[in-house]
Structure 1
């Protein structure tokens, strides 16, 4: 019996690693630097290398919230078993891998969420309607908010109403505001996350909301001034550096969000066996890293070139709302699709240039792939688990 248990845990771990590889090769590995590649700011291979490193760091430092949500909050009344986790992960990973090899970005969050819910329902669990409402709200709003903000920012950067140098510095300051207040595992007490602003405020003799606000303002000002000065010395080079910095931040956010999709189903299984969450996060982050380094270049090219023609300003416009939405999802523990975030923002920024290169045909197939991944993974998860249960 002990041998069977060990083998089951091993298969569950391998399924999770395969899922992490698929995510690294697909959504988290390809989407963060796709706008930068589309703007010729970085090569495809170098983008895959850098995104893997930042994705691993994000997984370890920010992955706990989404991981726990996927593992324990998507279904009620039952606890996922090792067998259920295997079925859910293999089902979702198979769909994501199909997207990687066909060049169509499957929404990973849709696939994993559908598979976990399908398996949970097959086990006799109860739907978690409140959590589903949160998830669907974010999924529905993401294309409109992300694409709309990207469109507005791109129009402003390309127009003549605002000085480009001042506007870009202001956008960098806004990124600084977000960065100062996102959670990191190393800055919080045991089992919790803390922000840079929240950590620095007491040390500077201030605390509470006013102290965090003062530190946030200081960080935002420093970032804005640095970008403003850099733009004055070398506008083209500064745009490229800002774009690459945004790509790194989005890659970090992708790791914090997407690792939960790979290891979340294992939390009830390995957590009950005494395996700490940080160990699962490190393992999942390693899987994301491998996927980014070995499989991401194909998807980076597909997203960078097939959806819209991107320049540096439109790419910056696409990455800023992507970073904000991703961090909001991480903070609230909501599984979100980075393919949906980035593709929506790229299309919105592309339309700002007068429909320059936006592929409607590609978008239609992508939306169908997203919808099919959710419905298909739910039905497959339910059907496969029910079939296996009958056989065994």
Structure 2
């Protein structure tokens, strides 16, 4: 019995690592720096290396919320078994891997969510309708909000109605404001996260809300001032640095969001044997890193070149809403597809230049792949687990 249990854990862990590799190669590893690669701010191979490291850090420092949601909140009335977790992870990983090798960015959150719900229903669980409503709301709004904001920001940056230097600095200040208020595991007590602004405010002895607001404003102004001064020295170089910084923030956010899709199904299993969540996050983060280093370049090229022709300003416009949406998803523990976020923002920014380089056929196939991956993973998860349970 001990040998069987150990073997089951090993197989479940291997399935999780395969899922993490697939995500690193196809979602968290390829999408964050795709706009920067499209703008020739960084090479494909270097982007894959950098995003792997940043994704690992994001997984460890921000991955807990989404991980727990995927593992415990997608189905009610039952707890995922080791067999169910293995079926869900392998089903989702194979679909994502197919997308990687075919050159289409499969929505990872769709496949994992569908697979977990499918095996959960096969176990006799109840649908978690309230959680599904949260998830579907974010998924439906993402293309409109992300693409819409990217379009507006790109139009402002490439137009001549507003001074570009001041506008870029203001956008950097908004990014700084968001960054000051996102949660990090290292700053909070055990099992919790805390923000930079909240931690500094508490350290200064200022009450929570006023202290957080004051520190947030100071940090936002500081970031805006630095970017404003940098643009004054060399506009082109400053744009490139801002673009790479945004790519780094999105890569970090990708790790915090996507790692939960790989290790979430393991939470009920390894929780029974007192494996710390941090250990699972580190393992999942390493899987993302390896996937980014070995498989991401193909998808980076696909996203950076096939969906829209991007310059530095439109790439910045695409990454700002992507960062904001990703951090909102992490904060609320909602599994979200980075492919959906980034592709929608890239298309929105691309249309800002009058449909410059936006591939309608590629977008049509991509949306079809997203829908098919959700429905297909749910059906496969339910069917495969039901068949396995019947045979065994």
Give the TM interval when normalised to the shorter protein: over 0.9
* Correspondence for 2:373: 373
What is the CA deviation profile of residues 311-349 of structure 1, one whole-angstrom value per residue up to 9, with x for unaligned ones? Answer: 000000000000000000000000000000000000000
What is the CA deviation profile of residues 34-58 of structure 1, one whole-angstrom value per residue up to 9, with x for unaligned ones? Answer: 0000000000000000000000000
Quote the offset at 1:203 in angstroms. Answer: 1.7
Quote the offset at 1:111 in angstroms. Answer: 0.1
| Superposition pairs of residues 215-364 of structure 1, within 5 angstroms | 215-364=215-364
What number of residue pairs does the alignment pair up? 392
* Correspondence for 1:204: 204
What is the CA deviation profile of residues 169-201 of structure 1, one whole-angstrom value per residue up to 9, with x for unaligned ones? Answer: 000000000000000000011100000000000
CA–CA distance in 2 between the matches of 1:222 and 1:81? 49
| Superposition pairs of residues 22-171 of structure 1, within 5 angstroms | 22-171=22-171
Quote the offset at 1:206 in angstroms. Answer: 1.2
Quote the offset at 1:126 in angstroms. Answer: 0.1
Q: Which sections of structure 2, spanning at least 5 residues, go unmatched?
A: none
CA–CA distance in 2 between the matches of 1:133 and 1:105? 24
Quote the offset at 1:209 in angstroms. Answer: 1.0
CA–CA distance in 1 between the matches of 2:258 and 2:379? 22
Quote the offset at 1:205 in angstroms. Answer: 3.0
Q: Describe the SS at the equivalent of 2:194.
A: coil
CA–CA distance in 2 between the matches of 1:78 and 1:209? 39
* Correspondence for 2:175: 175
What is the CA deviation profile of residues 89-115 of structure 1, one whole-angstrom value per residue up to 9, with x for unaligned ones? Answer: 000000000000000000000000000
* Correspondence for 2:7: 7
CA–CA distance in 1 between the matches of 2:204 and 2:80? 46
CA–CA distance in 2 between the matches of 1:255 and 1:178? 17
- 1:19 and 2:34 aligned: no
CA–CA distance in 2 between the matches of 1:70 and 1:40? 36
CA–CA distance in 2 between the matches of 1:54 and 1:203? 27
Quote the offset at 1:391 in angstroms. Answer: 0.4
Runs in 1 of length 4+ with deviation above 6 angstroms? none
Q: Which sections of structure 1, spanning at least 5 residues, go unmatched?
A: none
CA–CA distance in 1 between the matches of 2:209 and 2:23? 37
CA–CA distance in 2 between the matches of 1:248 and 1:203? 28
CA–CA distance in 1 between the matches of 2:327 and 2:208? 22
What is the CA deviation profile of residues 56-76 of structure 1, one whole-angstrom value per residue up to 9, with x for unaligned ones? Answer: 000000000000000000000
CA–CA distance in 1 between the matches of 2:200 and 2:208? 11
Q: Describe the SS at the equivalent of 1:28.
A: coil
Quote the offset at 1:207 in angstroms. Answer: 2.0
What is the CA deviation profile of residues 280-310 of structure 1, one whole-angstrom value per residue up to 9, with x for unaligned ones? Answer: 0000000000000000000000000000000
